[in-house]
Each structure stands twice: as C-alpha cells, then as structure tokens.
Structure 1
Amino acid sequence: MSKFYKKITSKLQKFIEAQKIFFVATAPNSGRINLSPKGMDSFRVLDENRVLWLSVTGSGNETAAHLLENERITIMFCSFEKVPNILRLYGKGKEIKPTSSSWNELISLFPITPGTRQIFEITIQTAQTSCGMSIPFFEFKGERNDLNDWAAEQGTENIEHYWKDKNQSSIDGLPTNILK
C-alpha cells in the first residue's frame, strides 16, 4: 500500500542514506523521458523539503535540458536488502553551476569527484513510499571507479571540451546551457 508525505521524514532520510543506488527521471514537454541510475556518494538531504544531487560528466546532460524547460524531476530509491521499500521524491529542480554564488557552500557537502559538472537542487513537493515486495535481493559489492578514473585522466580542459562536444543539447535537441 502506498503512502504519501509532504516532507522527508527522519525515517525516510535514514532510508535514503542507506541506499547505494538511486534513479533520476525527467522529461521534456515533448520528447523522450530520461531515466538514469545514479551511484557514488552523490546525494544529500538538506532538510525535509530540499535535496541535492551531484552530477558528474556523462554521455548526456538530459536532466539539465529538461529542468530548464519545466523543472519536473522524480528521484526513486528502492531497497534491495532487508525490508522491501520503494521511495519516490517528486519535485522541482534547478541546476547549480560552478559559477553560481552558492556553489562553494554546496560543493563542500560532497567528496571531491573528478568530472563534477553541476549540482541539482530539488525542492520536494511530495514523497511516496510503496511496498517493493517484488524487488529482488541484490548484494552491494562496491563502487565502480571507472567514471572517476576516466574523468581524472581527462583533466579539466579535456572535460570542458567533452561538454562542448557531447553535453550541450539533449537527445531531443533541447539546450542544456552547460557552458553558460
């Protein structure tokens, strides 16, 4: 049975902090829905209605393009261990870039991560839990370092070239404004 919340309770926050993977979903007004798995130490609960997600360089930048258009975002966590549970956070998101006045304060909440691209700040409108009883058990074996190793090898200048070549528009042609 699902249950809705108007805020992230302390119990929900503990659940979030225990998860090793989460999923980010956004969609443009017209075009493809983007749903991506995320990992690393890249998610923070700031308060009962505000969270941060540290975004690193990847093959696309769909979230930035979609949030520029309509701000809608859903984050989903699900338990693969012990008690079954699924948590969805529905909200409005905005991109925070290294040039933003709040960047230094917010980036200090995360470990130094090669290829860091932006932070997404999400205002939570509702949270929803559901049973998750059909979700299989999986055992966490460790983090992958492939993306961090690749980004460290590239260096800042080559990462910015990558953004210019690969991250300036969504797969549907919407601008991401990554370089603005």
Structure 2
Amino acid sequence: MAKQFTEIEDAHRAFIEDQHIFFTGTAGAEGYVNVSPKGMDSLRVLGPNRILWRNLTGSGNETAGHLAQVNRITLMWCSFTKRPLILRCYGTARVIHRNDPDWAALNAEFPEERGARQIYDVAVEMVQTSCGYSIPFFDYVAERDTLHKWAETKGDDGLRDYWLEKNTRTLNGAETGIAEGNIPT
C-alpha cells in the first residue's frame, strides 16, 4: 500500500499544511534514536524537495546533535481525521543557528517567536505515503500557548542560560552546536 515519490507533490503539500502536528526522527552514529512531536506554526514547504522547520526551545536538542554526526532526517505526518494517510519525507538537513548569515531571512518565514532555537533546511530525497488505516480519530481543539509564554517569561538572558544548561549536548553527550555565538544575546 505504500507509494514512493521523488518530490513533494501538490496533494502532499496540501496534506502537510492541513496537519496540526508532525514528528521528527533522527539518530546519531550511536546511542538513542530520537522521535519528537512538533506543533505550532513551525514548518514551511518551500518547494518540491525543500522544507523549512523552525525548532523552538525544548528540554533537549537531539536533532541538532544527531545531524552533526549523521546527516539524515525523517519528518512524518499522520491524519487523525477522516482521510487515513501517513506521509513521510526522508532526507538530509542543514542546521541554521542564530549567528548564521541566512538566519534572519529564513526566520522571517515564520511568525515572531522568542524561543526559536534553530532552523532546519531539509532537502527531501524521497516522499512515502501509506494508508494510516490503524490511526485513531482525534479532534483538534487548539494550539497550546505554554511554550510561547514560557519563552517570553524567560527572556533572552533566561533562554541563553537554559540553552547552555540543557541544550548544548544530546542525551549521549554529542555537541549540538548551541554555543555562546548561537544563543540570544
């Protein structure tokens, strides 16, 4: 039942844009595989083989550390509404930090968010769809504003301290690229 495609087609893009949640998957050379749910207004399909995902502050920073070791990423969406479908985009990603020259232009693709930590510029190599017949129905109620309020309360100094304490290394000790030059000042 699975079908593979070399690019994100218009129907895939419409499906992606309709979803309120997506999942990321990465793994370093050793250690834990990371799968994370993502929400809020943090993803843009920029072309048939390009996705931008703006990563917001979280309790860990596995994706950045994994990509520095092994550059591969999977993004996944699944429908919780009437049309059963699972869609995965497989590829590689470039990590953009706040001090990188193209941060401002890429970050401008999204609404203002103090807790924005990195942007992943994903080069999609393959798209796969599958049925999703076993996925249950869920009703979307609303976005949570907890992360936004938390980042606003922390402020730039608080975010910098948090990133230095919680986001510089993965669970397996790999560097994530968050350092003094890549955090709010």
TM-score range, shorter chain: over 0.9
Letter in 2 for 1:149: K
The aligned runs of 1:26-175 (5 Å cut-off) are 26-175=26-175
Letter in 1 for 2:101: S
- Please list every run of 5 or more consecutive structure 1 residues that lacks an aligned counterpart in the other structure: none
Alignment partner of 2:160: what SS?
Answer: helix
- Please list every run of 5 or more consecutive structure 2 residues that lacks an aligned counterpart in the other structure: none
Shift of 1:73: 0.4
In the aligned structure 2, how far is the partner of 1:13 from the partner of 1:73? 18
Letter in 1 for 2:99: T
Letter in 2 for 1:177: G
Shift of 1:172: 0.4
Shift of 1:114: 2.4
Letter in 1 for 2:146: D
Q: TM-score, normalised by structure 1?
A: 0.98
Letter in 2 for 1:146: T
In the aligned structure 2, how far is the partner of 1:116 from the partner of 1:33? 23
The aligned runs of 1:1-12 (5 Å cut-off) are 1-12=1-12
Q: TM-score, normalised by structure 2?
A: 0.96
CA deviation digits over 1:41-65, x for unaligned, max 9?
A: 0000010001011101110000000
Point out 4+ residue stretches in structure 1 off by more than 3 angstroms. Answer: none
Shift of 1:80: 0.4
Shift of 1:177: 1.5
Letter in 2 for 1:46: L
In the aligned structure 1, how far is the partner of 2:151 from the partner of 2:48? 33
CA deviation digits over 1:112-147, x for unaligned, max 9?
A: 112111101110010000000100000000001111
In the aligned structure 2, how far is the partner of 1:125 from the partner of 1:154? 38
Number of equivalences:
180
